[in-house]
Structure 1
Amino acid sequence: MLSIQDSGARLCDGITRREWLRVGGLSLLGLSMRDLLRPGAVLSAPKGGTGKARACILLFLTGGPPQQETWDPKPDAPAEVRGPFTTIATPIPGYRVCELMPRTAKLLKHIAVLRAVSTDDNAHSSSGYWMLTGRPHQPKNSENAKPGAPNDWPSVAAIVKKLRPGGALPASIAIPEHIWNDGGLTWPGQDGGFLGRAADPWLIHCHPDQADFNVPGLSLPAEVPPLRFRERASLLEQINRHLEGIEKSPALGRFDERSRQALDLLRAGKAARAFRLQEEPDRVRQRYGNNRWGQSCLLARRLVEAGVSLVQVNWTRMKNEPAGAPVWDTHSKNADRLKSTLMPIMDLSYSALLEDLQARGLLDSTLVVWAGEFGRTPKINGNGGRDHWGHVFSVALAGGGIQGGVVHGLSDRIAGHPRDGRVQPQDLTATIFHCLGYSPETEMHDTLGRPFPISRGQPIKQILG
């Protein structure tokens, strides 16, 4: 059953349209898409960037990956800083990365690395908000911050959804789940914010690594044959036209958009096929890794091929993770977690995605962003872990609009603070929008019609192709 969330305004007979449609609405079609659909809307906007990227895949490594064991190792630092791992060469003369990313190291000719990203915020949810929106959280260092004003700037994914029209699939999709802190506390910065719920990216909770993976609602129930579906769809459209003169609230506008998208999904075989990972050869699926993150990266590639403009892939929690140190939040046993689990999964899937896009001729038109909410402390703590560190960390970009083989920015000798080329999240968002064809000055409007620039940063010209 699809439940419509609106203000509950009542019809002349005292029944809310929400109640009426809950009884009759999309249930006329025999559909159940509540878990799949989120509100959606589109808006045209002036362009001003390069537009070399048709789409963007944002890989968000929740928890904060360590700069020292990824893109910014410090082999000459003391042991308590450098850690136990060595470095390996890359195609960039003089630039070395951690030995735990051997596949990625070979692909640096496609990748631009930012080694001096900074938020000066050591809280997951508030620093994450800045990374996902390009706006600093007020105040900083606010752990377990909740979504909502005054921190209601829309996410990059939401802005893309607002700027670009969707087709059978919406312009922005997030998989395989939202980002949350212990206790199920949702981070701010993952929705449409002041743009309204219509700008929310579609959030699809899924386990694409499971053998029986499917997204409910992308096919007709067996009891609803195509002819009967067409008849019911026509009836629903007639009902909506009849009720248009009764009430025109924003919430109803969201429902009309959701019902249209639901019908489009069912009519469009291309949309459903994007989720059929079983159509991929076994060697391709194995190349990405038989786990939730790897198969989500593969699904992101398929969604981009199906016309989605931005896919955000969130690193999610796994079974048997250590208490107090889930995902990339390695407060304890940092080296063990990186070597046994985190880095092998990341290196395999990230390199697979870049190679797959390149082989299909899609890398030049697909921007791939590798990022987390912050980095890790320079010094290893007493539990063998690294703690939160927003003063300097690394981000990597590849593909559409990016000049590969570039390393921009420099941290100090212990990867503790920027020394040169410092950038902030708003510059990262400006760069993403630039590559997608939008200048930072492109205007978006809140629900009251007030204009705002999509980013208050500037594109990082040193890495642009």
Structure 2
Amino acid sequence: MPGLLRARAAAGEVPTTSARRPKSCILLFLLGAPPQQETWDPKPDAPAEVRGDLGVIRSATPGLILGELMPKTARLTEKIAVLRAVQTNDNAHSSSGYYMTTGLPHAPQGVENAKPGAPNDWPAVGAVVRKFLRGSGTLPTAISLPEQAENDGNLTWPGQDAGFLGRAFDPWLLKCAPESARFELPGLDLPPDVPPVRFDARRSLLEQVGSHFDHIDRTGGPSSLHQSHARQAYDLIASRAARQAFDLNAEDPRLRDRYGRYRFGQSVLLARRLVEAGVPLVRVNWTRVPGALNNGHWDTHSKNTAALKQLMPLLDQTYSTLLEDLGDRGLLDDTLVIWAAEFGRTPKINGAAGRDHWGHVFSVALAGGGVRGGTVYGASDKIAAFPKDGIVRPQDLTATIFHTVGVPLDSEITDTLGRPLAVTRGEVIRQIM
């Protein structure tokens, strides 16, 4: 841990200062991609092969209809802004996912099972946040959980790490099962053979050794730097506040039930606890639901309706609870919540009663964090195939995230050739802010 902290310092981590109240972002990334036609952009007047066989429901926002499987979310649309013309023009999970999580198109586009690494090694949005922001406590400033996004076969998508910025700025990945009855995070608790007395003795010994070297070298050299980084590492273990952030058992059991006692539900609850503890960016990846169709994710190539009836109630419950919970705690105004995926689904139902990959137009929803709720920006055509107006691209989403959490949009990062590059090529989506 001290070595990691030294690496971060050597890489030039720069804190930002701002007079405004710090804000956070919870990014809900829905692996496989839900269909826009059955969620945020229904087409009830389209032919049957386009609209599907699910109905629509009215929402709390006059004129805004949603898919029928979103009744709890429909009551909260006055808090939500819907983007109906998001576009990557990429129909592959991993390369389109790279674009969505970095704001830079994969080269070339349409590459399934694309691997992390050069030349597609632009840093993920969380890595940029880690480089430019320092948290208010001992926790890192960007965390991903409960696992990486990956294709079947454990094929990890590119665009989830720090890329050319270096491993020191990787978002902290928590591989965890928070739905477990005995959930605990490895590394934050002392191992059985190190009781608190021994832990304090180790820290005392380190301080004595550090004092000895400081007596020899008063120049602020490596020895004092080691002390600083080691102290941070010890603080993370010793910090009661850091450990409490991961203690889901401290929550009211009824609230845990509202989030849902499944992996995604408890992961989102954990994300809320982390932003409450001062983490600026938490990404929650959808994980496969055991026993559900299409391997439990949103890649509904077959039996689209049946699959949605299994998955949408879980997402509707967790998403709506998160918005209500943040609102009840006075945190929603300072927490941007993003519902997103790597792309959308095809306009027409295929021969297997499913929908295939479609990056030409899809929907993303934002709430809180300064978003003007009850709004819809952009539109797709009559069959949800292509944008009609108000196109939004992934770089605009990354710019909006950076703007929200306090990373200046004119910040620069340096690639491996020493070239200064802007952290984003997009614009804040001011139409909904």
Q: Output the TM-score relative to the length of structure 1.
A: 0.85
| Residue pair 1:293, 1:316 contacting (<8 A) in 2 also | yes
Secondary structure at 2:144's aligned position in 1?
Answer: strand
Which residue number in structure 2 is paired with residue 275 of structure 1?
246
**Map of 1:319-330 to 2, 5 A cutoff?**
319-322=290-293, 326-330=296-300
- 1:4 CA drift (Å): 7.9
Secondary structure at 1:345's aligned position in 2?
Answer: helix
Which residue number in structure 2 is paired with residue 347 of structure 1?
316
Which residue number in structure 1 is paired with residue 89 of structure 2?
120
In the alignment, structure 1 residue 149 sits paired with structure 2 residue 149: no
Secondary structure at 1:100's aligned position in 2?
Answer: coil
| Residue pair 1:289, 1:295 contacting (<8 A) in 2 also | yes
Which residue number in structure 1 is paired with residue 430 of structure 2?
461
| Residue pair 1:52, 1:400 contacting (<8 A) in 2 also | no
Which residue number in structure 2 is paired with residue 99 of structure 1?
68
* In 1, Cα distance between equivalents of 2:17 and 2:341: 28
Distance 1:439 1:255, change over 3 A: same
* In 2, Cα distance between equivalents of 1:413 and 1:238: 72
Secondary structure at 2:38's aligned position in 1?
Answer: coil
Which residue number in structure 2 is paired with residue 24 of structure 1?
none
Distance 1:303 1:46, change over 3 A: closer
Of the three residues 413, 420, 434, the one matched with 2:382 is 413
**Map of 1:14-413 to 2, 5 A cutoff?**
43-44=13-14, 54-166=23-135, 167-236=137-206, 260-322=231-293, 326-340=296-310, 342-413=311-382
- 1:141 CA drift (Å): 0.1
The Cα offsets for residues 247-283 of structure 1, whole Å up to 9 and x where unpaired, read as xxx9x9x999985554222110011111111111111
Of the three residues 409, 423, 431, the one matched with 2:400 is 431
* In 2, Cα distance between equivalents of 1:234 and 1:3: 16
Q: Supply the AA of the counterpart residue of 1:268.
A: S
Q: Supply the AA of the counterpart residue of 2:393.
A: Q
The Cα offsets for residues 70-119 of structure 1, whole Å up to 9 and x where unpaired, read as 10000001111101111111222211111110111111111111000000
* In 2, Cα distance between equivalents of 1:231 and 1:255: 18
* In 2, Cα distance between equivalents of 1:117 and 1:257: 45
* In 1, Cα distance between equivalents of 2:169 and 2:93: 24
* In 2, Cα distance between equivalents of 1:258 and 1:100: 50
| Residue pair 1:168, 1:265 contacting (<8 A) in 2 also | yes
* In 2, Cα distance between equivalents of 1:143 and 1:259: 42
Q: What is the Cα-based RMSD across aligned positions, in Å?
A: 2.8
* In 2, Cα distance between equivalents of 1:258 and 1:113: 43
Secondary structure at 1:174's aligned position in 2?
Answer: strand
* In 2, Cα distance between equivalents of 1:135 and 1:255: 36
Distance 1:261 1:337, change over 3 A: farther
- 1:199 CA drift (Å): 0.5
| Residue pair 1:170, 1:202 contacting (<8 A) in 2 also | yes
| Residue pair 1:53, 1:400 contacting (<8 A) in 2 also | no
| Residue pair 1:53, 1:364 contacting (<8 A) in 2 also | no
Which of 130-139 and 429-438 deviates more? Answer: 429-438
* In 1, Cα distance between equivalents of 2:412 and 2:356: 38
Distance 1:311 1:240, change over 3 A: farther
Q: Output the TM-score relative to the length of structure 2.
A: 0.91
| Residue pair 2:15, 2:134 contacting (<8 A) in 1 also | no
Secondary structure at 1:349's aligned position in 2?
Answer: helix
Distance 1:267 1:411, change over 3 A: same
Which of 179-188 and 449-458 deviates more? Answer: 449-458
* In 1, Cα distance between equivalents of 2:412 and 2:335: 23
| Residue pair 2:57, 2:66 contacting (<8 A) in 1 also | yes
- 1:226 CA drift (Å): 2.6
* In 1, Cα distance between equivalents of 2:409 and 2:369: 17
Secondary structure at 1:68's aligned position in 2?
Answer: helix
Distance 1:343 1:400, change over 3 A: same
The Cα offsets for residues 8-28 of structure 1, whole Å up to 9 and x where unpaired, read as xxxxxxxxxxxxxxxxxxxxx
Distance 1:144 1:390, change over 3 A: same
- Give the percent of matched residue pairs that are identical in Structure 1 and Structure 2: 60
- The gaps in structure 2 that reach 5 residues or longer are none
Q: Supply the AA of the counterpart residue of 1:318.
A: V
Q: Supply the AA of the counterpart residue of 1:217.
A: G
The Cα offsets for residues 45-84 of structure 1, whole Å up to 9 and x where unpaired, read as 6679x96661110000011111001100000011111011
* In 2, Cα distance between equivalents of 1:240 and 1:130: 46
* In 2, Cα distance between equivalents of 1:4 and 1:53: 28
- 1:382 CA drift (Å): 0.9
| Residue pair 2:37, 2:43 contacting (<8 A) in 1 also | yes
The Cα offsets for residues 126-162 of structure 1, whole Å up to 9 and x where unpaired, read as 0000000000000000100111111011111111111
* In 1, Cα distance between equivalents of 2:163 and 2:269: 29
The Cα offsets for residues 403-461 of structure 1, whole Å up to 9 and x where unpaired, read as 11110000001100000001100011111111223342222334665422111001111
Q: Supply the AA of the counterpart residue of 2:241.
A: K
Q: Supply the AA of the counterpart residue of 1:423.
A: V
* In 2, Cα distance between equivalents of 1:82 and 1:256: 62
Q: How many residues align?
A: 424
